[in-house]
Structure 1
Amino acid sequence: MTDNRRILDDVANTVGDWALVSDQVMGGVSDGKLSHEALQGRMALRLTGHVSTENNGGFLQMARNLGEAGGMDASGYRGLELKVLGNGETYNIHLRTKDVTRPWQSYRHSFAAPDTWTTIKLPFGDFEPHRITSPLDLKSLRRIGIVAIGKAFNADVALSGLHLYR
């Protein structure tokens, strides 16, 4: 059996599992970059770029698929713990489950990314459904994304750790 906590543990060594997604997939003009680099003494995955709301756009995302085709079972955990560094802006975590069938649907939670490494805990019970009526089903967590969204700004957010916590 796979240890679900370990699937998310070491962001610094799983950079190849993450992908950059931008609003360009729907005609937007936001432009970003995903890199693996040392920041303030830690290896991290870093999302940088400019979020533009022009042409009906407005997001940059670093995303990772979880588990096999059916996703992973996170039902034994209370939430996500992130180790983040940023530029003081507010970012989102977007979760997708087997119930999410449209690109605009997700379960969302916002967080601030300060300019020093900070550990943030996000309880699953605080995630809000976005354009979906199904409740968050933690038995089928399929994808996670760190998202710069909703306004024009320069994004700069880094992730050195991502864990499930009990």
Structure 2
Amino acid sequence: MFTSTERIKPDAQTIALYLENVLSHKYQIPTFQRDVVWEKENVKKLWDSIYKFYPLGSILVWKTNTKLESHREIGGIKLADNFHSHEYQYILDGQQRTTFLLTSIYGNKIANKKNFNPTLYIDLTIELTNVTDDISYAKRFLFWDEIDDRDGQIQANTGKKKPLQR
């Protein structure tokens, strides 16, 4: 029999490896988890922490041989419907961060936020004003509806309301 210290242990992963594992259907979201509730401001602050090399907090994954009812999507990414295994991994804490890390990078839709495009854009010309700068992130990290590149000025996208043509 394992003691609790033998069973619970941290596992340091890069964000890229973690998201790769999400995309390869390694994790499931149990049905008792709440829906996505984060707003734009939360997403920007998450990316500001990454930008400043601050810790993001932990993501709690429960490894078990118990199969639970689970959601089939995270950030619009369909998880395997026929998820059969001898070991299951459920995200118990960190669903909001996982959803917005995934959708900020890869795009997609979030089930209960139909009119929200979670793709995030970064303006690297916005510099930190000092070591305790907690306001520049709002101009550095932008969602599409906050961008209008008229004359190189960032303004509310009230005129176009459509993505840039590439």
Q: TM > 0.5 between the two?
A: no
TM-score w.r.t. the length of structure 2 is 0.24
Q: Tell me: higher relative CO, structure 1 or 2? Use CA pairs within 8 A at least 6 residues apart.
A: 1
Larger radius of gyration: 2
Structure with greater proportional helix content: 2
TM-score w.r.t. the length of structure 1 is 0.24
